[in-house]
Amino acid sequence: MSAFFLSYAGTDRQVATQIAQGLQGAGVQIWWDSQGIGWGDNWIQKLEDALSQCGGYIILVGSSCVRKWVKAELSVAIKRHFEEELPIHSLLLPGVTPEALPPFLAILQAEALPENLRDLDYGKLAQALSQRGLVQPCSETPLVPSDKCPFPGLEAFGETDAQFFVARQKETLDAVSGLGNGLDGVYRRWVQVEGTSGVGKSSLVKAGMIPTIKKGWAGSMEAGIWESWRVVEPMRPGADPILNLAEVLSKNLSPEPDPLAVSKVFNEVYPYLQEDDQALRVRLRGWIPEKQALVLVVDQLEELFTLTTDNARRARFDALLANALTDQDGPLHLLTTIRTDFMMQFNAVPRLQALLNEKAARYFLTPITEYGLKDVVRTPARLTGLTWSDPELPTDIVKEASGEPGALPLVENLLRLLWHEARNRQSHTLSRQIFNELGGVGGALAKSADALLDSLGDGKQKALHLLTSLVNVGSASQDMQDTRRTVPKAVALQAAGGGPEGEEILNQLSGLRGRESARGAPARPRLVVVSNGGEKATDPELVDLAHETLLRYDRNKQPYWKTLRDEITKRRRTIENRQLAEALAKEWHDQGRSRWRGLATRTQRKAFRRLDDLSPDAQEYVRASSRRAHRLTGIWALATMVLLTVAGVAGWAQTKDLKFRVATKVLLT
């Protein structure tokens, strides 16, 4: 058989030599650099050739984690793992437990070596390496609780879902390798994950990169710069990025987790961040222990351009991050995600824009491959002990989804629905019959979403109104797609009709009523997501569409969900009026909220008054426009009265003058 490629860190060279020689003595062909590369050889070419030709890959995982060259080798091996089913085996050196492995290795085979390597049975290890199959579990029992759903549906993966975040192992490793010293010798503190809408940027960061960094696999520990990594809970810029930054820092850096301690830190930090561009740099120096790196995660950075209307606060956020990132001995590192169609607006944050081009690693996330889809379908099911009623069903799911623009969310949604129906039957088997009833990959989204709307009875139309309030329509002339819109929960409730009925509709669409926990309840997708807008109880919750796939078209240019598409078409003019109101409101706020200038015209006011899904800023703009109109009406009324009075006085004076002249003439004659 072909040789196994042995990958290891330089500090583990002595142990690696011992293991390689032991396995060779047991009849296993091993390629490792100490024997495979001779004096004067092109060692990079030798490594590439060995990696491309090996029949298996072994990585030694020691307590010092993995060096940058090992990561490069592992990245190639993972690519071959998915494309060619190359076996990957992790050998855990003494002192390393399976819990130390990052998610992209934890789901593969791992062997803990004995404390004393002289006790290692190389014959038994050789047999395990040669017989252990690619996707066979190390145990017949599920690796995670079987009642836990391994499929997120339309929602993004979170950190707690890392064990199920499969098929993106190579992308995770490549993106994490951008932090710290790269292969080019440049130290980078910032990794920005870019990609099209719905490609999985947030999932990559939350379920892939964050757990990997927390387990010590970031790129600069080998340089001795950092002894540990601390990752701050992800934030979104929202309408006030300074406030949201202060909240996430106070929660994660408070010496005590209790609310009083967190509130105390917030009250100290928030005013400072508002007043001084150097505040973040200075504070982090005092907060973070020496030799500890801090990673700030800003998800959906495009909200700086779409939700932050205050230019001064956007500029302050820009300066705070830039100054902390350029502090050579400071601890700050940054992970950001952004949609590629918003990169043209990056000049709104000029300090970060300059750093992005010079000091950041930009990682473009591509759509998942067919090999990746196979892993998405099979591996989470294996980890939770799920089986298939038809062994060909996983292959059919992948075949149907391949080539679809929204392949990954469509498949995850289908698998979640299949899991839910199996759970209702108290079964661990994913059913071909249910797959057919749902309409397959393409039909499951529309059919289940329509069923959810139909279950609302008279509330269906209000639910559709709520859903369209979460959409911004694109310009057809500029070939721009419709996109999701984030709104405060109060706005969403108003769009749903308000009161208890509006609350119930929102709960049904978001799954907050525990549909997943009620056995026997029909499978329903989660069409909207309700998330915290901040860390305080008083911060408004935010509402989004669960995924932009709900707005997209399939490979045949047919909408994935025709019902919502038809409603958007019907309400397009109303949505455009709302977007106009929001744009005018933003400009008005940026220019200082004048009482007279930049306000809506009479025709615009008439159109805007019919809207019930405006943001708070736009509502204020419409009210200000109405107040100006009332003031102008009053001014015109007063002016009219003055003119009439002046005219009356002038007329009276003219009449009196005429009478005087007549009387004078009479007296003179």
341 lies in the same domain as 376: no
pLDDT of residue 363: 96
Range(s) of the domain holding residue 403: 370-569
pLDDT of residue 515: 40
- What is the pairing mode between strands 56-61 and 88-92? parallel
Winning range, highest mean pLDDT, from 186-190, 194-198, 430-434, 638-642: 430-434
The average confidence (pLDDT) of the chain is 84
User: Is 355 a member of any domain?
Assistant: yes
What is the pLDDT averaged over residues 5-24? 88
The amino acid at 154: L
385 lies in the same domain as 526: yes
pLDDT of residue 135: 35
649, with CB counted inside 10 A (0-12, 13-18, 19+), is exposed
- Determine the straight-line distance between the first and last CA of the chain, rounded to whole angstroms: 142
Q: How far apart, in whole angstroms, are the C-alpha atoms of residue 168 and residue 103?
A: 10
User: Is 340 a member of any domain?
Assistant: yes
401 lies in the same domain as 478: yes
29 has pLDDT over 60: yes
Question: If we measure between CA atoms, which residue out of 533, 525, 530 comes closest to residue 544?
Answer: 530
User: Is 578 a member of any domain?
Assistant: no
pLDDT of residue 14: 87
Considering only 31-45, 173-187, 229-243, which range has the smallest mean pLDDT?
Answer: 31-45
pLDDT in tens, 137-185: 334 455 566 678 899 988 889 999 988 998 898 899 889 989 887 667 7
350 lies in the same domain as 455: no
pLDDT of residue 386: 93
C-alpha distance from residue 597 to each of 577, 588, 592, 627, 637 (Å): 20, 8, 10, 12, 21
Domain boundary among 569, 595, 616: 569
Considering only 129-143, 248-262, 280-294, which range has the smallest mean pLDDT?
Answer: 129-143
User: Is 646 a member of any domain?
Assistant: no
User: Is 632 a member of any domain?
Assistant: no
What is the pLDDT averaged over residues 104-130? 83
Half-sphere exposure of 598 (CA within 13 A, CB side): 16
477 lies in the same domain as 525: yes
625 sits in which H/E element: helix 616-668
Domain boundary among 364, 383, 403: 364
Total number of domains in the chain = 3
pLDDT of residue 25: 86
**Region for residue 299 given its phi and psi (left: phi exceeds 0; alpha: psi -120 to 50; beta: otherwise):** beta
315 lies in the same domain as 438: no
Reported pTM:
0.77
416 lies in the same domain as 555: yes
pLDDT confidence tier of residue 346, bands split at 50, 70 and 90? very high
What is the pLDDT averaged over residues 386-398? 95
344 lies in the same domain as 387: no
User: Is 64 a member of any domain?
Assistant: yes
User: Is 150 a member of any domain?
Assistant: no
453 lies in the same domain as 525: yes
pLDDT of residue 572: 94
pLDDT in tens, 590-637: 778 787 788 888 888 888 988 988 888 888 888 888 887 667 676 766
**Residue 5, strand partner residues:** 31, 57
What is the pLDDT averaged over residues 10-27? 87
386 lies in the same domain as 351: no
pLDDT in tens, 310-330: 899 999 999 999 999 999 889
pLDDT of residue 364: 96
302 lies in the same domain as 377: no
